[in-house]
Amino acid sequence: MHFLFEPANRALFLAINAPANLSGLSFAFAVFASNYCVALLAVVLLWSWMRSNSAERQWLLMVGIACLLALSLNAVIAMLLPHPRPFMVPIGHTLILHDPDNSFPSDHATLMWTFAFGLCWQPALRRAGFLAVLLATLTSWGRIFLGVHFPFDILGSILVAAAALAVSRPFQPWVCKWLAPSVERVHASTLGKWFR
């Protein structure tokens, strides 16, 4: 399906996309931003989990559920609104390898923005949330810059992330009553014991 704003999507992509001869530190930084900031996000989440109290960990569980919902929404959107990646059009320069699958929305960006918004939502987790926003921004830029996503793929991911967090809120009482106690017991006997 061709989006109504496809000309703007492609023009913005070409404005951000890297030159074909990109190399050295610039290329290495872009690859790190595109592919490896998600590992730093995992460290931020672990740090947040370990320094949180039980109520904050319940919220982190909620954000995890929202992330699963967001990725499920991505799969549905991909089936209903298939969209090629830039190198499948072809347009611009693609500087990293990627399967020729659906472009919209970006799973990388959806995962990272869901956690970023979720952390920012809770005042006690907001410092980690700001760091997660930075990492999500770098990843989003890197995916466009290196030619595997269009800008509107990232915009779609941001909207999906926000929607998934909003939709998952009614499940919070269920998480607090049924899931959180079991997770707390596992936490107390594993990570909680090691990091106490």
138-174: per-residue pLDDT in tens? 999 999 999 999 999 999 999 999 999 999 888 777 7
Pairwise CA distance, residues 9 & 104, whole Å: 12
Structural contact between residues 106 and 160, judged by C-beta atoms closer than 8 angstroms? no
CA 59 to chain centre: 17
Burial of 44 (0-12, 13-18, 19+ CB in 10 A): buried
Pairwise CA distance, residues 111 & 41, whole Å: 10
Residue owning tokens 């269009």: 150
Q: Biggest alpha carbon distance in the chain? A: 55
Q: Say what the pLDDT of residue 3 is.
A: 62
Of residues 3 and 11, more confidently modeled: 11
Mean pLDDT, residues 100-106 taken together: 95
**Percent over 90 (pLDDT), the chain:** 77
Residues 25-54: pLDDT tens digits?
Answer: 999 999 999 999 999 999 999 999 988 888
Q: Say what the pLDDT of residue 40 is.
A: 97
Question: Is residue 2 pLDDT above 80, yes or no?
Answer: no
1 band by pLDDT with thresholds 50, 70 and 90: very low
